[in-house]
């Protein structure tokens, strides 16, 4: 007699759920981030002058998918002390792409400049590992107020990303066309309907169902309008011409180490570490519904840092926690690591099987935007919960106001910091999120907490299953 499996709930962090549930949950996470995972490599390769469709470009894209899946798996299962053992999806960092592009150009451009950037990223990843080692001693410098402010800024910055995808994607010739908007709204409405009108399984895979319905709508539109062109058109020849198997290429770019590149990128990694801390804190408190355990943030930082160093060895930009997936996790409360593992497996297979990668890649950007735009807003909800835990005292109000009212604006407004040294404007000063992060961190240290303003401890309630 066959042994009967003891399945757990998809809302449980550990344990197994039936495959018929685990596979859709994993696919939902992967499909919602697949395009974003490849956006940064595509853009920076374009700046380098790499031809579209070239063997080198395709190699880097496959490597990006493979590394993302591998590091996600490590983050989920935890090898030794590496990994937070949390439902975190890892992907190619694109929030500070401008910094990477500027670094490539300043180091000579082309593969020479890219090799110098990758060398700096290897060192930057190790810097993050060091922060993870000493995190318990420096944890007091990362209270909910600072982490919440940073995560709120990240959520705000992702709003434009979601809207751009909604309209067809940056650089699309038909950006904002009625076809793109129609597909995006069909997808979004499907997500909302399944999320609000259904319970349990169907509600929790509402994003995946939205992607499926949106893709079917795109196929119907392709058939109804033969010969049409645009970012919404699904080019099946890409799938037909793709091969079945290809191994990841180690060191596809000659990596070099230059102090001029290492120092600013190492500083950048210190700042980006706070984003990872915020993501971990958010998914544990909102998604899992409990306080963060001692090993989780250090473990996540180890995976984040070593994953970034590993990614560089495969010619890929830093591999970090994908904040946009935090929105999906926190919205559905599906935190089961076993289910997430199937998503990681799909990413690995996409890196090994060009044909599978091609199938996923032809999903219209507007369909992806319709599925994830609302999820980005959920990041704001989680971030504001963290800020509220700190208490809205007079001191905290000043930190919040200066961080958003001054720092974020200075970093986000082109030319506002142009009079400062190049090393600053090309790194921290290139992004509103980065300037805000440094400002909130410093203000929290130098501004004393007046007596009587200590925030009351707020009990963390077990969140409801769904909050959309």
Where the chain has pLDDT below 50, the residues are 1-2, 456-468
Q: Enter the tokens of residue 459.
A: 């009990």
Helices (H) and strands (E) in the chain, counts: 20, 2
Q: Which residues contact 99 (CB under 8 A, 6 or more apart)?
A: 264, 265, 268, 426, 427, 430, 431
Query: What pLDDT was estimated at residue 463?
Result: 39
**Residue 89 three-state SS:** coil
Which DSSP string do the residues of 207-251 spell out, in sequence order? Answer: HHHHHHHHHHHHHHHHHHSTT--STTS--THHHHH--S--PPPS-
Length of the chain: 468
Query: What pLDDT was estimated at residue 81?
Result: 92
Beta strands in 35-176 (DSSP E): 90-92
Is-contact 375 329, C-beta < 8 A? no
Is-contact 59 315, C-beta < 8 A? yes
Q: Enter the tokens of residue 430.
A: 């290139």
The alpha carbons of the chain give a radius of gyration, in whole angstroms, of 22
């Amino acid at each position: 007699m066959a042994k009967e499996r003891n399945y757990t709930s998809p809302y449980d962090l550990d344990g197994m759920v039936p495959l018929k549930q685990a596979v859709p949950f994993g696919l939902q996470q992967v499909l919602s981030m697949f395009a974003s995972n490849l956006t940064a490599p595509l853009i920076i390769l374009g700046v380098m002058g790499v031809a579209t469709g070239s063997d080198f470009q395709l190699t880097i894209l496959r490597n990006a998918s493979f590394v993302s899946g591998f590091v996600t798996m490590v983050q989920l299962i935890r090898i030794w002390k590496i990994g937070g053992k949390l439902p975190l999806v890892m992907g190619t960092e694109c929030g500070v792409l401008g910094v990477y592009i500027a670094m490539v150009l300043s180091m000579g451009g082309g593969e020479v400049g890219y090799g110098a950037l990758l060398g700096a990223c290897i060192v930057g990843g190790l810097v993050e590992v060091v922060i993870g080692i000493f995190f318990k001693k420096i944890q007091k410098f990362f209270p909910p107020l600072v982490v919440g402010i940073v995560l709120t800024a990240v959520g705000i910055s992702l709003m434009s990303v979601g809207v751009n995808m909604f309209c067809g994607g940056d650089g699309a010739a038909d950006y904002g066309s009625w076809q793109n908007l129609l597909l995006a709204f069909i997808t979004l409405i499907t997500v909302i309907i399944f999320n609000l009108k259904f319970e349990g399984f169907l509600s929790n895979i509402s994003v995946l169902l939205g992607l499926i319905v949106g893709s079917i709508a795109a196929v119907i539109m392709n058939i109804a309008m033969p010969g049409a062109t645009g970012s919404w058109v699904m080019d099946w020849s890409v799938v037909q011409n793709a091969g079945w198997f290809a191994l990841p290429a180690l060191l596809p770019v000659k990596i070099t180490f230059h102090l001029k590149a290492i120092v600013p990128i190492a500083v950048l990694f210190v700042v980006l570490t706070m984003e990872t801390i915020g993501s971990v804190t958010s998914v544990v408190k909102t998604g899992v519904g409990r306080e963060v355990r001692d090993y989780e943030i250090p473990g996540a930082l180890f995976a984040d840092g070593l994953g970034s160093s590993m990614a560089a060895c495969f010619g890929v930009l830093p591999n970090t926690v994908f904040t946009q997936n935090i929105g999906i996790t926190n919205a559905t409360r599906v935190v089961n690591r076993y289910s997430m593992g199937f998503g990681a497996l799909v990413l690995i297979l996409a890196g090994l099987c060009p044909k599978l990668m091609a199938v996923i890649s032809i999903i219209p950007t507007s369909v992806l935007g319709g599925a994830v735009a609302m999820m980005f807003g959920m990041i704001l909800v989680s971030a504001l919960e963290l800020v509220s835990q700190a208490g809205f005292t007079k001191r905290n109000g000043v930190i919040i106001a200066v961080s958003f009212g001054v720092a974020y604006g200075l970093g986000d407004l082109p030319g506002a910091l142009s009079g400062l040294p190049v090393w600053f404007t090309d790194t921290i000063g290139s992004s509103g999120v980065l300037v805000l992060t440094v400002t909130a961190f410093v203000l929290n240290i130098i501004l004393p907490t007046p007596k009587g303003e200590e925030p009351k401890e707020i009990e963390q309630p077990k969140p409801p299953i769904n909050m959309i």
